[in-house]
Amino acid sequence: MLTRVADGVLVHESEFIQSTSTVVQGTDGVLLVDPGVTDRDLADLAHDVAELGQPVVAGFSTHPDWDHVLWHAAFGDVPRYGTARGAASIRELLTHADWQAQIAEGLPPEHADEIPMHLLGLLTALPAGAALIPWDGPEIRVLEHRAHATGHAALLIEDARVLVAGDMLSDILMPFLDLEAADPIADYLAALRLFEGVADEVDVVIPGHGSVGGSEAFRARIAQDRAYVEAVRDGREPDDVRVGPAAPLEWLPDVHRWQLEALTRRSSDAASE
């Protein structure tokens, strides 16, 4: 089911970690952002978009994680954009003969047989540093940064005052750092500053996983994520419900501890060099 969250902007939520697909209505059709996650989700999304009476004219993947580069034949053969870095990252993965096996390692077991792989990751790279999505619809600003994943970008739908955040600013997930980056802490804090810089232009925030929020939630989530990242940086235990005993997902505290251990190993390795 599609839910309208702003003028010309609708969302569809999957059962898998409250994954959110975003539909932006344009002049001649719609833009799909991060459609997912199972075959049934994608088929339902295709049906609901058809009910709008508009075809799909373009897609956008906020970053190259498997659950953000999915597609369905019913959406048609249209441009599926990503940042230059994001598109290059998934393109490199797809050159490996065992790419499906690599992705399968990270799939949720309860949904592994329901996730379509044949159209995964077929992205069209935007020009490096592109500021806008090239389509016949409302102006959508690309806010590229280095937090969470290579080539990650948020989208600011300017007239609707909506920020599509990708895998950031979630009310159910703590920040997942890009542990392969040179400085994952600095990258994440820089992205949060980028979001703060457009806070006066945002009335609605759509996270890749979790609940849609208003302008107050947008600012609160920036502050909450900053507090988490700064605590991790400073070696303090975060005061964050998302990784505590009442975590919304029971496996998050384990992922939090794993993230801390990985950062500690990075620091130890750097100090021994």
Q: What is the pLDDT of residues 154-193, one digit of tens each?
A: 999 999 999 999 999 999 999 999 999 999 999 999 999 9
Instruction: Assess whether pLDDT exceeds 90 at residue 268.
Output: no
Domains and CATH numbers, the chain: 3-129+138-272 (3.60.15.10)
Output the pLDDT for position 152: 97
Percentage with pLDDT > 90 across the chain: 86
Residue pair 29/57 in contact by the 8 Å Cβ criterion: yes
Q: What is the pLDDT of residues 37-93, one digit of tens each?
A: 999 999 999 999 999 999 999 999 999 999 999 999 999 999 999 999 999 999 999
Residue 1's alpha-carbon distances to 44, 49, 149, in angstroms, are: 7, 10, 29
Q: pLDDT grade, residue 105 (50/70/90)?
A: confident
Residue 24, Ramachandran bin (φ over 0: left; ψ between -120 and 50: alpha; else beta): beta
Whether the ω angle into residue 202 lies within 30 degrees of 0, i.e. cis, is no
- Helical ranges in 70-202 per DSSP H: 84-94, 99-104, 184-196
CA atoms within 13 A on the CB side of 26: 20
In this structure, how many other beta carbons lie within 10 angstroms of the beta carbon of residue 159? Answer: 13
